[in-house]
Structure 1
Amino acid sequence: MKRRSFVKTSLMTGTAVMAAPVVNLAMVKAESAEFYELRVYTLKNSMQQKLVEDFYSKAAIPAFNRLGIRHVGVFTELKPVGQTKLFVLIPYQNLVHFNEILNQLDNDKAYQQKGAAYLTAPATEPAYERIESSMMKAFAYAPKMIVPAGRSRIFELRQYQSASEAAGKKKIEMFNDQGEIDIFKRLGFKPVFWGETVIGPLRPNLTYMVTFDNLEAKDAHWKSFIDDPQWKKISTAAGYADALLVNKITSTLLLPAVYSQV
């Protein structure tokens, strides 16, 4: 009896030792995943656009850089309908880091002084019409932002909305575990980030950003994706058809501002 008990205990201990690294790796992935704040400014006219862009180029981005955030992206629409919206992408290490940055900005005198025209704009002459903000958590298999090489390019911001949270999680699983992220990288899409929206409008959704040299390159890359044998395989696997997981896709083509760090 004692020997059987010893063997049983040894087996259980061995199993625990073997399982521990897997659990720890999963925890490391979860902890290392960045969070992304996406701000979308609705603007009435070019005066508002200049005020917001001056704020980011002269006050906000230098302040973020001083606080250790190296890559802040600012983008305008490639094909706006009326006055362009302004898109701002800010990475954080985690939500605690996000809160720390907010507190530090409140106490940053240079930021407050150089950004005063924006931060204290009067109600009669507002700096913008509205800001729509989302907070996204990076995917486990793409936990860090990838900043593209600094040359002329266009960006595509895509959002996949799902009818249920379970469907949204399944679509993220498709990116992470079924190899969809690998297809994008292999075909040269040059992704910037993938994120699950945890706070913001139109949930449940996931959002990601990819880059291209020009519109012709964009069309060629998407054709190669649709025709890719691996994509055809995973998109037709049981439970992974897009018709089951995604009920709306939006795509916005963007141009980086001259001072954008992404």
Structure 2
Amino acid sequence: MKVSKYTKASFLLALFLLLVLSCKQEKKADEALEEEEMAAALPEASFFEMRTYYCAPGRLDALQTRFRDHTMKLFEKHGMTNLAYWIPVENPDNKLVYIIGYPNEESRDAIWNSFAEDPDWKQVWEASTADGPIVDSVEQVFLRYTDYSPKIVAGDGGPRVFSQRTYFTPEGKLPNLHARFRDHTLKIFENNGMTNVAYFDLDDRHEMGDRTLIYFITFPDTTARSTSWATFLEDPDWLEARANSIADGPILDSLKFELFTATDFSPLK
């Protein structure tokens, strides 16, 4: 049977396109494997630092650009794990809040000092502040996972709002609060449309370390947040758990919360 030159050309074109597609898929697979290997090369974090940067007026975008283009890569170079970067939903103070991880407490200072002395970082800092200071002040707290906390895992959870909640207990009552969360509250949160992200104790170096719980939960949006809290507060399981937990007296003195959205460069979204 005679094959026309057009049939041959079509066959060769199809073969060429198949080879191109195969190469692209192989490249993507190699890139994915490389990313996994890079992530695996970083030790699992067991000690955390939450840093809050207060920017000079009009300089928040410059700070985000510096993190996006430079700082995060330099953090990883020196052994830090980037976990989450957030901007408050209401942000009159021009804040950026982020959490990074270290292999352990003992490694923190050496890692941070090596980053601070990195010539690449010094060059980035000088270039980024050529038009004036970016950061006015910094706050930091050191954290450890509670024994019941989920682990923060990089990934995109879709559009959602993060809520940071900080609870202060009467002296000696933090174990009681932990027990209520561990045995009841986390499950009841999930039953009412909330997603548990992470729960932290303050490191012992902090004055209120033995009386403070910091945790993060998420909601699809602020409307869903209001709905979830309303149903949670009326949930019979919660009412019973709360009543039992305070039978010997209050276990919560006060609380504060703030709502965030993830930056476009945050590993956790």
Contact 1:160 1:246 (8 Å CA) reproduced: yes
2:86 aligns with one of 42, 64, 75: 75
- Deviation (angstroms), 1:117: 4.3
State the Cα deviation string for residues 1-26 of structure 1 (Å, max 9, x = none): xxxxxxxxxxxxxxxxxxxxxxxxxx
Aligned residue number for residue 25 of structure 1: none
CA distance in 2, matches of 1:188, 1:99: 39
Shifted more, 217-226 versus 183-192: the winner is: 183-192
CA distance in 2, matches of 1:189, 1:86: 24
CA 1:187–1:76: 2 relative to 1, 3 Å: same
Whether 1:172 and 2:178 are equivalent positions in the alignment is yes
CA 1:57–1:217: 2 relative to 1, 3 Å: same
The amino acid that maps onto 1:52 is L
TM-score normalised by length of structure 1:
0.73
Unaligned runs of 5+ in 2: 1-43
2:189 aligns with one of 141, 162, 184: 184
1:34 aligns with one of 43, 46, 50: 46
CA distance in 2, matches of 1:250, 1:212: 17
Aligned residue number for residue 159 of structure 2: 152
- Give the root-mean-square deviation of aligned CA atoms: 2.8
TM-score normalised by length of structure 2:
0.71
CA 1:240–1:63: 2 relative to 1, 3 Å: farther
CA 1:129–1:107: 2 relative to 1, 3 Å: closer
Counterparts in 2 of 1:1-262, with a 5 A limit?
Answer: 34-47=46-59, 49-67=60-78, 69-80=80-91, 82-106=92-116, 108-117=118-127, 125-142=132-149, 144-147=151-154, 149-164=156-171, 166-176=172-182, 178-198=183-203, 199-200=205-206, 203=209, 204-239=211-246, 244-262=250-268
Query: 2:223 aligns to what SS in structure 1?
Result: helix
Count of aligned positions: 223
Q: Kindly, what percent of the aligned residue pairs are identical?
A: 20
Contact 1:75 1:254 (8 Å CA) reproduced: yes
Query: 1:173 aligns to what SS in structure 2?
Result: helix
The amino acid that maps onto 1:191 is N
Unaligned runs of 5+ in 1: 1-31
Which of the pair has more CA radius of gyration?
2
CA 1:112–1:156: 2 relative to 1, 3 Å: same
- Deviation (angstroms), 1:84: 2.6
